[in-house]
Structure 1
Amino acid sequence: MPDNTQRQPTIFLPHGGGPCFFMDWTWGPADTWHATQRFLESVTGTLPAKPKALLVISGHWEEPAFTAGTAARPELLFDYSGFPAHTYQLTWPAPGDPALAARVVDMLRTAGLPSATGPARGYDHGVFVPLKVAFPKADIPVVTLSLDQSLDSAVHLSAGRALAPLRDEGVLIIASGMSFHNLRGYMRPETPERALAFDAWLTAAVESPATERNTLLTNWREAPSAAYAHPREEHLIPLMVAAGAGGEAAGKRIFSDEPMGARISAYRFDG
């Protein structure tokens, strides 16, 4: 049998806009999200082995405490609106992993972080949309983990550190968000410069050694154009979990593009 317990990286990936990879985009040119789609399609080929399971932290799920989904067969949550009818009929039947979900909760509690289970939770579009592209066979168990509603950077870095041992068991930790998420900023003339400035700062922070990285990410609001890039921070905070679980070595940017005039990036941690 293939060894799927090799140490996995952690990855922060952009999940795009709504069901963008499964339609001709109507808010811009049809190829708006093609580069991001190609990046997602390439992810599995860069992994050391097929993951034993996926632990996915989505920017579209917040709870009073970190909450792990324990459904054995999660349904899809079509938590977007105004898109073509066929995008509400997508399927991605990846199984859940209740045992792993329980372990995630136990690891967080052991680290002193409030956590709970959410048995009724399905896969929101921050989960199934990018992963349907990256893992189309839907044959790897998936556990979803909410953000803590505090959206506190340090708390989420701590959660990542608590969950890091899962990497040695073949679990791929995926943080799904967007490095730029200002819906009113797309296609505006001032956006390219501001998004580039924030992206440059964020990339430099991620590519710093862990101690410096964590300090910078904790204080991300001090970055150039931070408030413009993230009027609300829920799409950036998953990155903190990935960074916290990422080990001591510097992270690296593994993808970048400018859909609708705003620079977005993906990051990977192999430490």
Structure 2
Amino acid sequence: MTMTTHTAPASTNITTSGSRLPVYFISHGGGPWPWMPQMHDYYAQLAASLADIPRQIGRTPRAILMVSAHWEADSFTVQSTPQPGMIYDYGGFPAHTYQIHYRSPGSPALAERVAGLLAQAGIAVEQDAERGYDHGMFSPMAAIYPEAQVPVVQLSLRRGLDPAEHLALGRALAALRDEEVLIIGSGLSYHNLRAFGPQASVPSKAFDDWLAETMLQVDSASRSQRLLDWEDAPAARIAHPREEHLLPLMVAVGAAEADRAVRIYHEDAFMGGLAVSSYRLDAA
């Protein structure tokens, strides 16, 4: 693994546009589901919500910065390879799902810009020139941009999984929205692999209702504080025994902290019983 520590702000050659792009927190689904026809009925609503994102944006972004629940590092680390490979970070799926490729290019220029923004904010950051795409990236991107025409750069979570650090990370990245970079937090609003199906109906709904109230009904300052105190939510540790799938939401909210949220996807009985949701944040 090739790592570069970044300690000084970097200049950017990314131009700005007249309106800010929104920010998304999406549920990315399980494993390589877009490549499994037998799963398409289960994922129909999620797939439709992801496929609608380009229409919602109204233009093609210059690049995408993706914060996936499936990458943790000791410091926030940005992927800087120009052509990332694939990481098949799942098990027990059909053989062909270990041969799939999502061939979007990376963007070393965006990686450098991200590193500069974080360094400017006093956040330690490294670059990784070898890391490939994980399924938290390529599964939803197969639905959002199936032609893989938009460069995508992944940014890690930081081990320790401190909500405040990830909210601050989002704040540091907010300027990218004016530079035609789409920020996507890719996780799941419910992630407990030991409590799936009908047994998860009540706890997932309790947490999902709290999340909807937090995202849709309170002012921005209260929203941030409620997210920092997420463990106080109903069924919080049932919904997220480990919070790596929730933290991409913290990054998304930090990057759009004053903006309103809209729920773009919701199911009450996903995979037989789960209440799950995805959100867009923008100023409109």
- Bin the TM-score by the shorter chain: over 0.9
1:127-138 matched pairs, under 5 angstroms: 127-138=137-148
> Does residue 1:115 correspond to 2:125, yes or no?
yes
2:76: which partner in 1?
66
Alignment check: 8 A CA contact 1:21 1:34 kept: no
> Does residue 1:201 correspond to 2:202, yes or no?
no
Alignment check: 8 A CA contact 2:28 2:186 kept: yes
The code of the aligned residue for 1:225 comes to A
- Aligned-partner SS, 1:264: strand
Gaps in structure 1 of 5+ consecutive residues: none
Q: Deviations over 1:235-257 (max 9, x none)?
A: 00000000000141221211101
TM-score by length of 2: 0.90
Alignment check: 8 A CA contact 2:16 2:178 kept: no
> Does residue 1:259 correspond to 2:259, yes or no?
no
> Does residue 1:20 correspond to 2:30, yes or no?
no
1:142-161 matched pairs, under 5 angstroms: 142-161=152-171
The code of the aligned residue for 2:206 comes to A
CA distance in 2, matches of 1:83, 1:158: 36
1:227: which partner in 2?
237
- Aligned-partner SS, 1:200: helix
TM-score by length of 1: 0.94
With 246-255 and 236-245 compared, the bigger mean Cα shift is at 246-255
Number of matched residues? 265
CA-based RMSD: 1.5
The percent of aligned pairs where both chains have the same amino acid is 44
Alignment check: 8 A CA contact 2:34 2:142 kept: no
Alignment check: 8 A CA contact 2:198 2:274 kept: no
Q: Deviations over 1:91-143 (max 9, x none)?
A: 21100100110110111121111111011111000001110111111111111
> Does residue 1:171 correspond to 2:171, yes or no?
no
CA distance in 1, matches of 2:91, 2:185: 23
2:247: which partner in 1?
237
Gaps in structure 2 of 5+ consecutive residues: 1-14
Q: Deviations over 1:37-93 (max 9, x none)?
A: 111111111103111110000000000111000000001111111101111121211
Q: CA 1:149–1:213 in 2, change beyond 3 Å: closer, same or farther?
A: same
The code of the aligned residue for 1:269 comes to L
CA distance in 2, matches of 1:167, 1:186: 36
